[in-house]
Amino acid sequence: MTAVDDTTTSGADAGAADATSPEGVTVMADLRSHLRKSKAGISGIIICSVFALVAIVGPWLPFLPDPAKQSLPDKLTPPVGWGGTWAHPLGTDQLGRDILARLIDGARISLLVGLAAVVIAAILGTTLGLIAGYVGGRIDTLIISAADVQMAFPGVLAGLILVAAFGPSVWLVIVVIAISSWMVFTRVGRSLVLTLKTSLFVEASELSGAPSSRVMWRHLLPNLVSSLITLCVLELAAAILSESAFAFLGFGVQPPRSSWGLMIQQGRNYITDGWWIVTFAGLAISIVVLGVNLLSLWLQSFNDVAEREQIILERPGG
């Protein structure tokens, strides 16, 4: 019983390599060597780092015009290639402001809001989901009812109330988005925990006297990660778009500052005269979501230990 074609040898090599599996190699080294083999991972990292870099250094880029500077004579200038000039490579909006400059400025707000909201929601939601699923009983009922109430409660309304109380701010938007999406993580986390906690390895850990915190942290959480990463990506896109809704209502970022969502909201009215306003903002959102998606694909494949080892052990080009 042998493999039929001449690639048999690579099978034997994989076996041999497995026997000498690198001992004591740290997770970081694994992560690096795994990344080198993953096209999705590399593309994701590149896209995400370019956007992050631009968002961070944006205000100090020397050649950019002031994103807030209006110039009505230049309003709705098309981008280069469609009759525009290099003065405004991506054209201008209805007030004559430079689209490129506003995109870069908006990246800060959009990425900050998206990331911060998702991180807060994920940490809060997952923790509650873990506790609800693992501890069960009254605590479970309490947490899951809270999630249901939150699910039924419109996020915009919550935003209105908070803005009425504290006045508009970007941080408020982050908090509002986070509290209107934590229950997604709670629900998914809890349902995964409910199946996982009947696993024999959880029972084994409990039988050896491990405290609940250890069972949750060491045994349950690592097995939730790959589902939660997917959820994070979905929620990130949703959060960037939610931010635009808040911006539109005037709760979040205040003009003349911009965000991608705000640009889309405002550009909508000019879509026939200036398609580029919505297009470039929309493109920016799509590319970021794509980048994060690729990144999450790679992280998921890294999280699957069997797949990870297979990829690390594979010889380059093999």
Partner 1 sequence: MSTTNGDGRTERLLEVKDLTVGFPTRDGIVRGVDHLTLNVGSHERLGVVGESGSGKSVMGLAILGMVLPPGRIMGGSVRWRGEDVLDPAVANRVRGREIAMIFQDPMVSLNPLKTVGSQLRELLQRRVGLQGSEIRQRSLELLDMVGIANASERLRAYAYELSGGMRQRVMIATALACEPTLVIADEPTTGLDVTIQDQILTLLHDLSTELGMSVLMITHDLGVVAQFCDRVQVMYAGRIVERAPINEMFTDPQHPYSLGLLHSVPRVDRDDGELTGIPGEPLDRAQFPPGCAFEPRCNEAQDGCRDAPPPLLKIAERRWVACYNRPAEGSP
Partner 2 sequence: MNAPVTPLVESRDVSVHFSRWVGSRRRTVYALDDFSIAVAPGETVGLVGESGCGKSTAGRALLGAVKPTKGQVFFEGRDVTDLNRRNWRAMRKQVQMIFQDPYSALNPKLKVGESIAEPFLVHTRKRGKELEAAVAELLETVGMTASAADKYPHAFSGGQRQRIVIARALALHPSFVVADEATAALDVSIQAQIVNLLVELKDTVGLSYLFISHNLAVVRHVSDRVAIMYLGHLMEIGSHHDIYENPTHPYSQALLSAVPVPDPTTRRSHEPLKGDLPSPMDPPKGCRFNTRCPLAVDQCFHERPPLTERSSGHLVACWVN
Question: Please, which residues bridge with residue 98 across strands?
Answer: 92
Q: Does 36 bind partner 2 (CB under 8 A)?
A: no
Helix intervals (H) in 88-214? 99-135, 137-152, 155-166, 170-179, 182-196, 200-207, 212-214
Q: Does 199 bind partner 2 (CB under 8 A)?
A: yes
Could you say which of 13, 140, 206, 314 contacts partner 2 (CB under 8 A)?
A: 206
Using DSSP's 3-state secondary structure scheme, residue 92 falls into strand
Q: Are 100 and 94 in contact (CB under 8 A)?
A: no
Could you say which of 212, 223, 230, 279 contacts partner 2 (CB under 8 A)?
A: 223
Nearer to partner 1, 10 or 254 (CB): 10
Q: Which residue has the tokens 């001449």?
A: 6
Alpha carbons 246 and 159: distance in angstroms, whole number = 8
Site residues (vs partner 1, CB under 8 A): 1-8, 10-12, 14-15
Q: Does 94 bind partner 2 (CB under 8 A)?
A: no
Smallest gap from Cβ 213 to partner 2, in A, equals: 11
Q: Are 70 and 88 in contact (CB under 8 A)?
A: no
Could you say which of 115, 210, 234, 283 contacts partner 2 (CB under 8 A)?
A: 210
**Segment contacting partner 2 (CB under 8 A): 5-13, 51-59, 185-193, 218-226?**
218-226
Nearer to partner 2, 199 or 269 (CB): 199
Could you say which of 7, 23, 165, 272 contacts partner 2 (CB under 8 A)?
A: 23
Tell me which long-range contacts 100-103 makes (C-beta under 8 A, separation of at least 24). 100/64, 101/64, 101/65, 101/66, 101/67, 102/67, 102/258, 102/263, 103/260, 103/263, 103/280, 103/281, 103/284
DSSP 8-state symbol, 314? S
Smallest gap from Cβ 318 to partner 1, in A, equals: 9
Interacting residues with partner 2 (CB under 8 A): 18, 21, 23-24, 199-201, 203-211, 214, 218-219, 222-223, 303, 305-306, 309
